[in-house]
Amino acid sequence: MKLYSLSVLYKGTSKSNLLKAAYDLSSFSFFQRSSVQEFMTFTSALIVERSSHGSRASVKEQEYLCHVYVRNDSLGAVVIADSEYPQRVCFTLLEKVLDEFSKQVDSIDWPSGSPDSIHYTALDSYLAKYQNPREADSMTKVQAELDETKIILHNTMESLLERGEKLDDLVQKSEHLGNQSKAFYKTARKQNSCCEVM
């Protein structure tokens, strides 16, 4: 999972205007980086131009996914990621970046702004922070922890029974269960097994 580009653009009437961008091109060879960066800038601008106001979309380009969010005030953002990166995390990042950008940069500067004239420095840190979606997004982190817990619980139950013992045998041998509990277990087992297909 990797993020390659994060851009903030202004959607004008005929074309879009790049306001600020950050790139992580470390996975490309040194000689390809400038061409890849130009392509990502061009693609981001084109996607914002073709997107309607107030829309979110994901566009597949080769093995990359370009996620775009254009607000009703014509401010837009694009993140380019690989196809494995979670879509929800991308849109969370875009919304956060656009909210922060609109608070720090005056809307009068958006139509005529350029990467050199706009003073907003958070894109590089967001791009670095969101490289690992589990650390950057709390819901993804919680989901990963739940998945790990399920694996641990599953492994624990298997390890308890891996010695060849069956749960039925353990219930029979148990001194802590009363006769009534054992009878209940046997009855429940019979009721559940009547519908099993062998």
DSSP state of 52: P
* CA count, 13 A, side-chain hemisphere, 195: 3
Q: Between 119 and 167, whose confidence is greater?
A: 119
> CB within 8 A of 196, min separation 6: which ones?
none
The Cα-based distances of 100 to 1, 21, 93, 123 in angstroms read: 25, 14, 11, 10
Q: Which two tokens stand for residue 74?
A: 């014509």
Output the CA torsion 146→149→154→155 (10° steps): 150
Taking 60 as the threshold, does the pLDDT of residue 73 lie above it? yes
Q: What's this model's pTM, rounded to 2 decimal places?
A: 0.66
Q: In this structure, what are the phi and psi dihedrals at residue 75, rounded to the nearest 5 degrees?
A: -90, 130
Average pLDDT, the chain: 78
Average pLDDT rounded to a whole number, residues 11-18: 86
Taking 60 as the threshold, does the pLDDT of residue 193 lie above it? no
Give first-to-last CA distance, the chain, whole Å: 43
DSSP state of 197: -
Taking 70 as the threshold, does the pLDDT of residue 32 lie above it? yes
Q: How far is CA 46 from the centre of its chain?
A: 23
Taking 80 as the threshold, does the pLDDT of residue 127 lie above it? yes
Q: Which two tokens stand for residue 84?
A: 């494995």
Average pLDDT rounded to a whole number, residues 172-185: 64
Taking 50 as the threshold, does the pLDDT of residue 198 lie above it? no
Q: How far apart are CA 182 and CA 86, in angstroms?
A: 48
